[in-house]
Amino acid sequence: MMAPADAVSEQRLLETFLELVRIDSPSGLEADVAEYCRVALTDLGFTVTFDDTTPVTGSNIGNLLAHRPGMVPGRGLVLSAHMDCVQPCIGVEPVIEAGVIFSVGETVLGGDDKAGIAVILEALRRLSERRVPTADVQVILTVSEEVGLQGAKALSPDAVTGDVCLVLDAEGEPGGVVVGAPTHYTFEAVFHGQAAHAGVAPEQGKSAITMAARAVAGMSLGRLDDETTANIGTFNGGSATNVVANSARLTGECRSLDRVRVERVKSAMDGAMRHAAQESGGRVDIEWTKEYEGFRFAEDDPLLGIVESSMRAVGIKPRRFSTGGGSDGSIFFADGVSTLVLSSGLRDVHSIDESVSLADMESLTRLLCDVAERLAD
């Protein structure tokens, strides 16, 4: 379907990526990279706006929403990545060795997710230069993804207007397609006891730390089955060694690809905390938050067929997998948009050893071009 890239466009892809990773954009400070993308997309004929989610996300810019009307009728395509990076990501200095891009080793590279952004921009440039007819194209670049998908969560539910959404934000070589992701709950629990002098009258106290410890001891934690996990993240409380603690705080989570299973685990964790507090004569306040809803694709889903056909056409071997993590794709899927999260060539993400190869970014660029053409057929 599509012509191979020439050396000039491949070099442009590399230069775009290097420019992006050199722009500081820790979570909450994405404005500079957003401006870079605004200029690039405007030059490609997109109408670019930013939503008004900054009061919710705390970022210095809203989510970037760009749209270009199609030249032919067809299913609208949405391409998405996020603009923020995990720390340490200030002053990134990329180096290239045998076609693989690293940082010098004192910061992350920022390929998560600037590789996705660079690929999106280059694919759109190639489609424009070849005057390939496409249906409507929308680009969504989110803020504060790395701190709980805050940008995507703050998006208006009707912001994603296309029929097919591809999120470029999974680790691994191109060809990976996330076909299942978990429903994820987190909690914060505060146990309330009764303070007393630990050396003079400990029997007059009710230890909140003891309540919390008993709660944790009563939970099943770790990997509960192939699709389910549970964890206690933090445990703190008390004020001094000679005071029976009147307060203790727990945070934790549970997640599962099985929607029924996650509710059972959530209920069991909640019950363990309430039972432990009551048994010790105290009380507990528990606040649960659903971080995102899970999803699972049917094996014969038409969207999978389109994307995997494009993969084969450009020489990529499709690879389906389920994940225990979330992404902006989880939020878009919950809003009713058919969404696939694709591996974008990243390795050792969230570490100073993070890397991505130009060859993998090139393969992904060719994939996006092919998908865009297929959706317009």
Condensed to tens digits (0 to 9), the pLDDT of residues 151-200 reads 999 999 889 988 899 999 999 999 999 999 999 999 999 999 999 999 99
Instruction: Indicate the fold that domain 7-181+294-376 takes in CATH.
Output: Aminopeptidase (3.40.630)
CA distance 133 to 146: 35
> Which tens digits make up the pLDDT trace of 318-342?
999 999 999 999 999 999 999 999 9
299 is catalytic: no
> Which tens digits make up the pLDDT trace of 229-269?
999 999 999 999 999 999 999 999 999 999 999 999 999 99
Instruction: Indicate the fold that domain 183-292 takes in CATH.
Output: Alpha-Beta Plaits (3.30.70)
Half-sphere exposure of 13 (CA within 13 A, CB side): 28
Instruction: Find the mean pLDDT for residues 276-304.
Output: 96
3 state DSSP class of 6: coil
52 is catalytic: no
pLDDT at position 151: 97
Structural domain boundaries in the chain: 7-181+294-376, 183-292
The catalytically annotated residue of 30, 51, 84, 328 is 84
Q: pTM higher than 0.85, yes or no? A: yes
Choose among 21, 45, 49: nearest CA to 127: 45
The catalytically annotated residue of 112, 136, 145, 258 is 145
Q: Confidence class of residue 2 from pLDDT cuts 50, 70 and 90? A: very low
Q: Which helix (H) or strand (E) holds 374?
A: helix 358-376
